[in-house]
């Protein structure tokens, strides 16, 4: 999921230190995200990567709705650091009977 953000290098006038700062751009939540929060990160579509990065695209790239997001229950191993880190099956839908 590519998120839109901005970054800048600047010099602190008081210390002379070079500083790199960044921010993520948020928007009003779409229907799927609204069940969790009223805002969401702006997601870029693959075909808009270059335009965003080279500055030729503008606000119109941020107003496009992101692809539909999906959710499903996954293995509890996802929450255990160091366990299954290289196992892509941990994010597959959990098939065990939950109840």
Domain spans in the chain, listed from the N-terminal domain onward: 5-68, 69-99
pLDDT tens figures, 11-22: 999 999 999 999
Pick from 32, 27, 37: nearest CA to 67: 32
Other CB atoms within a 10 A radius of the CB of residue 96 amount to 6
pLDDT in tens, 57-78: 988 998 766 666 777 888 777 7
pTM of the model: 0.64
Residue 31's alpha-carbon distances to 25, 35, 86, in angstroms, are 18, 7, 32
């Amino acid at each position: 999921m590519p998120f839109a953000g901005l970054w800048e290098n600047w010099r602190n006038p008081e210390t002379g230190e070079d500083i790199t700062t960044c921010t993520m751009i948020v928007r009003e939540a779409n229907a799927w995200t609204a069940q969790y929060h009223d805002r969401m990160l702006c997601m870029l579509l693959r075909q808009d990567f270059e335009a965003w990065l080279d500055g030729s695209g503008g606000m119109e790239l941020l107003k496009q709705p992101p692809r539909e997001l999906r959710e499903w229950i996954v293995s509890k191993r996802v929450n255990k650091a160091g366990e299954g880190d290289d196992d892509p099956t941990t994010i597959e839908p959990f098939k065990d009977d939950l109840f």
